[in-house]
Structure 1
Amino acid sequence: MLDIPSSVRVDVEALLAAQNHMGVCDAIEQYAPVERPETMTTPHLPKVAGIDSTVPPPAHTAAPASPSPAPPSSPEAPGAPGALIQDRLAGWVSDLTTLHELTERLARTAVMDDALHEVLRAGAALVGARRGLVVLEPADGLGPDTTVGLGLARADLGHIETVPRGATSYGRILDRTDGTGEPEVHADLLSEAGLDPRHREVAARLGYAASFALPLATEAAGRLGAAVWLYDEPAEPVERQRHLVGLYTRYATEHLARLLELERARTKSRTIAEELLPPRLPRVAGVQLAARHRTGPRGGGDWYDALPLPEGALGLAVGSVTGSGASAVAAMGRLRASLRAYAVMEGEDPVAVLSDLELLLRLTEPARSATALFAYCEPALRKIVLAGAGHSPPLVIGERRTEFVETSLSAPLGMLACWEAPSVEFSPEPGETVLLYTDGLLHRTGDPMDRAFARLHAAAAGVPRTIRDDPGAIADHVLHTVLPDGLDAADSDEDVVLLAARFE
């Protein structure tokens, strides 16, 4: 009988499990050591950064060449129990480190598209593939349905989608009743006798010879989609690689389910906010209109309106309700609808319109405040009368001037017991554009308000002559100049509204 020192004594069944390449988590859970070693004999492993080398990076999965065996008398010989256990423990630690780093990287993603790309990259490293695709198709049918590729251009994905759905790995997974089950493995696609001719043609065109597909599904999250990794040569992942990628995809599915729920909530909020805004701008003789609206991920209370009034007049309004989320969107809808009613009844007096709006807000929503600006325009006379309640002044953009309209300083609606401020009147010249906007445009810059106003003025003054006759192009130029580096489209807690009116 072997005399095994207590420092390396383990349960025999654990050793057998290690020899059979049992997954690290299963083996550790089922076969714990009978007692804690007196001293740690395993050498201290170096800190692993990035993807651990135990996961093979090349596109094939051929086993590496075996190292030269040590002399039988050596304590590190393959037959020595201590060396075998040490190697297995080192492999388990390496696997756990790799999974920990990959799941941490995935957990840092906050957008569905970023998460799908991360799942593809991590899965490719775990199974030793170079390319792949994820098909997101939730089983509840509520969407969103999308396909994301790794190492595949949009045209390549289009070629793959021409293959009949039932002939693809992801199609068979998604068409299952529960969307779960065993992975789809095709170790040598081009030599398969029953392979669909179109699939064979696409595989040859794109240069892949094998595939490994897994469902993105758990009992709690249901079926979300399927992931497929493609090999350049005939190959398939070994049992250990399958076990690791299975653990990873189970975690990834739960993370994707949370992002999916958040994405759907954001989409609903955006849809409701857009439906509460004008579906189209009116056509009024003597003036051209354009509007731009950017909303935050939670939905905000910024709004705009343009409505034709009696005798060829036009009412223009922008405003912002405090708060965010569904309650702010609902309050915005109520406030905009009320302003439209007051504008029809007494639009020629903007102060009276805002006074009525302030009274309504104070009586119906005493815990909320709002800013608003209403302008009564007579395009035939090129005359504008406006009043503002805590709102930023409009900006006049023309050939000879770019300046802010001087308005009286006033408090927002709902802040005082009785709101009232004098109106101002001005006349834009032919070809000039009046730009109305909300404070979100200034807040998104991240600058102090004086610098944000200076940036807005510089952007308006720099509008090219070639686009000055197009209010939509003017609004786009101002938006992209004031908010560079894609900040005009990025998620932010601040809503942005621009309403441009060019007078002929």
Structure 2
Amino acid sequence: MLDISLLVRVHVDALIAAQNDLGVCDAIRRIAPVGKLAAMSSLHLPKVAGIDPTVPVSTHTAAPLTEVPAAPGAFIQDRLASWVSDLTTLHELTERLAGTRTLDDALHELLRAGAALVGARRGLLVLEPADGGGPSITIGLGLAHAELGSIETVPRSVTSYGRILDGRPDAEGPLTHRDLLGDKGLDPRHREVAARLGYAASYALPLATGTGGRLGAAVWLYDEPAEPLERQRHLVGLYSRYASEHLARLLELERARTEAALLAEELLPTRLPRVPGVRLAARRLAAARGGGDWYDALPLPDSALGLAVGSAGGTGPGALAAMGRLRAGLRAYAVMEGEDPVAVLSDLELLLRLTEPSGTATALFAYCEPAARRIVLSGAGHSPPLVTGERRTEFMETTLSAPLGMLACWEAPSVEFTPEPGETVLFYTDGLLRRTGDSMDRAFARLHSAAAGVPGAARHDPAAVADHVLGTMLPDGPDRSDGTEDVVVLAVYFE
């Protein structure tokens, strides 16, 4: 029985030569073992009686070593430390990129990180997907808007990013231009712009994915003739591959958001009615996948006005379709029996049970007589409207009721109130409260504070009131939370 283990002896010179192109582990595996230690190559007596102790020596056994090779030198350790540093930097940059939630933020982060990796101070990035689906975006780093415009006046076919975007065969990989001004064949307009803006070299990199194709190109500019080192090219190449995949995901999300917003605009009122005695303004922030929040305002007989907000459950195309059916149904019922909000919502409950047996929705409908400043409203699981003016800011409580679709027969009493001249009634959906990330009680308190804090000069403009409330509730914009909630605000100002 043989108990022979191999102790691989590696030539240090061969390892140093191999490590420039390979990792340490890869370099070691590529170098064949050249011998064994004598202690490990010697024969061992069998430990079981009756077995012949004479074991023939293999003809492939190498000569025993006379000494153990020295440990790798400080050069190897320095290289290992450099690799660890590079990996740490790459990890930090990709983590920062992964934290971006919008396409615009990701593009700026990619441009900044790439400049740090290749040692450049300025650059530009052009997003131009090869499938033609858009969007087309150009951003700059260290370049003013006018300077970007000057670069765009250079014929596209002679620029490095233009050759990449046009799919030229000689631009499938990185393009290095070490000395632009020293290139006698450089386009005159390109030379003029480069001299005026003060850049003398460029390094361009295509942004593409294996499945989605080309997304765009990034170019970094040097103030003096220069080019990135081989190590810098390797790092920025690894980073750009990950960044391209991240951009592709955000691009798909951006397109879905745009399509959902366009569809929702088609399902919502194209313009608000003009009725004497009141002024209207509406704001809607769409969710990334498209939610079911909606609003409506329609003129009714006898100079009355029907006001409604609601939310269909779910997200995506199904929620948008349910939103369209609910809004269309409510408009029909409002025309026939709008003076009785309870009857309108009762009919809407029946419509929902027939068309969406497993669906739920919240809704609030108000019958408004502007001349008398009288509002009669009824709600189904919806948040109460908020009245704000110079003298008061308070919620107008509606009767407690379950959402539509949760009861076999919906019916709840209506309430009536009279706004004062100069007051604004805010109708909104629960998405405004949920996007704050706070508990509902705290979100209601924030909404009350936001409405009470409207500047006096803006209180007579319903659009300004709606914008102030949105800006206060969502100071970081529509992407403050996860973006899965629609937000609708309908402001009605009484003159």
Report the TM range for the smaller structure's normalisation.
Answer: 0.7 to 0.9
Query: One-letter code of the match for 1:387?
Result: S
SS at match of 2:438: coil
CA shift for structure 1 position 277: 1.4
SS at match of 1:311: coil
Tell me which residue corresponds to 2:41. Answer: none
Query: One-letter code of the match for 1:223?
Result: R
Distance, in Å, in 2 between the alignment partners of 1:200 and 1:327 is 55
Distance, in Å, in 2 between the alignment partners of 1:36 and 1:339 is 86
Q: Deviations over 1:272-322 (max 9, x none)?
A: 223221121111222110011112222211110001122322110001122
- Does the 8 Å contact 2:450/2:469 carry over to 1? yes
SS at match of 1:396: strand
Q: TM-score, normalised by structure 2?
A: 0.83
- Does the 8 Å contact 1:8/1:37 carry over to 2? no
Distance, in Å, in 1 between the alignment partners of 2:454 and 2:79 is 67
Distance, in Å, in 2 between the alignment partners of 1:473 and 1:179 is 54
Q: Deviations over 1:320-346 (max 9, x none)?
A: 122222222221111111111111121
Aligned residues between the structures: 458
Q: TM-score, normalised by structure 1?
A: 0.82
User: Structure 1 residues 289, 172: CA separation in 2 closer, same or farther (over 3 Å shift)?
Assistant: same
2:365 aligned with 1:374: yes
2:315 aligned with 1:324: yes
Query: One-letter code of the match for 1:402?
Result: T
User: Structure 1 residues 88, 7: CA separation in 2 closer, same or farther (over 3 Å shift)?
Assistant: farther
User: Structure 1 residues 346, 126: CA separation in 2 closer, same or farther (over 3 Å shift)?
Assistant: same
**More moved, 482-491 vs 387-396:** 482-491
Q: Deviations over 1:436-486 (max 9, x none)?
A: 111222223333333333332232233222122211111112222333344
Distance, in Å, in 2 between the alignment partners of 1:148 and 1:474 is 33
SS at match of 2:302: helix
CA shift for structure 1 position 231: 0.6
Query: One-letter code of the match for 1:376?
Result: Y
2:457 aligned with 1:466: yes
For 1:36-435, what aligned pairs fall within 5 Å after superposition? 91-92=82-83, 94-177=85-168, 181-435=172-426
Q: Structure 2 residue aligned with 1:500, among 470, 474, 491?
A: 491
User: Structure 1 residues 353, 30: CA separation in 2 closer, same or farther (over 3 Å shift)?
Assistant: farther
Distance, in Å, in 2 between the alignment partners of 1:88 and 1:98 is 15
User: Structure 1 residues 145, 222: CA separation in 2 closer, same or farther (over 3 Å shift)?
Assistant: same
User: Structure 1 residues 117, 451: CA separation in 2 closer, same or farther (over 3 Å shift)?
Assistant: closer
Query: One-letter code of the match for 2:11?
Result: R
CA shift for structure 1 position 354: 0.3
CA shift for structure 1 position 27: 10
Distance, in Å, in 1 between the alignment partners of 2:430 and 2:386 is 13
Tell me which residue corresponds to 1:454. Answer: 445
Tell me which residue corresponds to 1:48. Answer: none
Distance, in Å, in 2 between the alignment partners of 1:37 and 1:254 is 46
- Does the 8 Å contact 1:290/1:500 carry over to 2? yes
Tell me which residue corresponds to 1:44. Answer: none
- Does the 8 Å contact 2:10/2:31 carry over to 1? no
Unaligned runs of 5+ in 2: 1-6, 38-68
2:34 aligned with 1:32: no
Tell me which residue corresponds to 2:427. Answer: 436
- Does the 8 Å contact 1:133/1:147 carry over to 2? yes
User: Structure 1 residues 373, 178: CA separation in 2 closer, same or farther (over 3 Å shift)?
Assistant: farther
SS at match of 1:190: coil
Query: One-letter code of the match for 2:384?
Result: P
SS at match of 2:471: helix
Query: One-letter code of the match for 2:304?
Result: A
2:11 aligned with 1:9: yes
User: Structure 1 residues 92, 488: CA separation in 2 closer, same or farther (over 3 Å shift)?
Assistant: closer
Distance, in Å, in 2 between the alignment partners of 1:253 and 1:38 is 48
SS at match of 2:437: coil
- Does the 8 Å contact 1:440/1:495 carry over to 2? yes
- Does the 8 Å contact 1:479/1:488 carry over to 2? no
CA shift for structure 1 position 367: 1.5
User: Structure 1 residues 286, 488: CA separation in 2 closer, same or farther (over 3 Å shift)?
Assistant: farther
SS at match of 2:314: strand
User: Structure 1 residues 10, 100: CA separation in 2 closer, same or farther (over 3 Å shift)?
Assistant: farther
**More moved, 181-190 vs 456-465:** 456-465
Larger radius of gyration: 2
SS at match of 2:492: strand
RMSD of aligned residue pairs (Cα, Å) = 3.1
Distance, in Å, in 2 between the alignment partners of 1:204 and 1:386 is 68
